Amino acid sequence: MYFKQILDERCGCASYLVAARKSHEAAIVDPSLDTAQYDALLRERDFRLRYVIDTHVHADHVSGARELRTKHAAELCLHESARVAYRFRPLKDGEELALGQLRLRVVHTPGHRPELISILIVNPPRSPEPSMVLTGDSLLVGDVGRPDFGGGDAAVQYESLTRLLRLPDWVAVFPGHFEGPCGKGMCGRPSTTIGFERLYNPLARLDRGAFVSTLTDGVPARPLNMTAIEATNRGLADMPWAMLTATPAVREIDVNALETRPPDAVVLDVREPEEYAHGHVPGVINLPQADLASRLDEVPRDRPVLTLCERGIRSLRAAQFLIQMGIEQVASVKGGTAAWRAASKAVAVGDTSVEKPRVSESEWAHAGAVSYRI
């Protein structure tokens, strides 16, 4: 057996190439948008790509699965419940994909997403038991995948985690993420074992009620450009450019400079609508980072744009994306809304039950001319 984990440091994702050395048949699991790296590896090893498998419809990075299928005439596989607009081989729980002497056994592990699967790798000539499991975004190192990206269910996820933790201690765990927004408590290691997670993953020691409460506590912050990325992965849009592929330097300003900004500057609060409604800098526009790419035409290119979030992390990435898209007059507010509150500056509140509509031209004009102290 040949096995390779491929890490994407920019988005914190992991993809995998599994191959049978004798038959030279290969499978790639959760491929990233950069498919050239897989092409090179297949050529170098003289492997023939038979399967491309997405463990689920990804919401934080664009998949390269369809491109690999086209290039290599491979089968594109997802769980049978996946809701996408393109053809794929539907996989069922317990189904096995033959890869030379290897067997890739499908385990349906919903919770993070309804269609999420894990893949047990079995090498029968060596052992009848699985030696590895690719867990996608179900079981992470020290954490589990968030159930709030759309269609997830924490109670269902508890059952999936319990099912995975019944595997033997020795089974090596290779998750779909090692860092990033998918989980709050990932330790950063790219792999672990079932035995270690059963003993030391804090979520694995919780009963059902505490598990659900922990995973549903707080306002979920959806990943940057999630709306466009998920639509692209479902085949409903073609926006691969929504991926943040560069890390340009971003000018940062403090909250005092935010307060005294030029009158034509537009401030984008990239937090979730509920966060915004519970307290925001007066006069700013709420445009969640998850919707930034799909609403890019609303961002002016001829005026200064300032990005703002809770503590400055999301706003920095949003600013990097805007710069990547050619918007030059961009700065991020250091310390975010938390620093604004800490400086005892006035905040405004709004109705959390009303969805924020698309920003009109009049709102942009108002945002640039409003007085910023009450």
Q: Buried (b) or exposed (e) across 71-85, using 16+ Cβ within 10 A?
A: ebebebbbbbbbebe
**Burial, 292: exposed, middle or buried (Cβ in 10 Å; 0-12, 13-18, 19+)?**
buried
Q: Rounded CA gap, 250 and 307, in Å?
A: 11
Q: Which positions ≥6 away from 181 have C-beta within 8 Å?
A: 60, 146, 221, 222, 223
Residues labelled as active-site residues: 309
Structure tokens at 325: 């898209």
The two beta strands, 117-122 and 130-136, are: antiparallel
Kindly report the number of other CB atoms within 10 A of residue 348's CB atom: 13
Tokens of 102: 């290897």
Neighbours of 345 (CB within 10 A): 18
Q: Decide if 215 contacts 170 (C-beta within 8 A).
A: no
Q: What are phi and psi of 69, to 5 degrees?
A: -60, -45
Q: What backbone torsions phi and psi does residue 116 show, to the nearest 5 degrees? A: -65, 135
- Phi and psi torsions of 361, nearest 5°: -60, -35
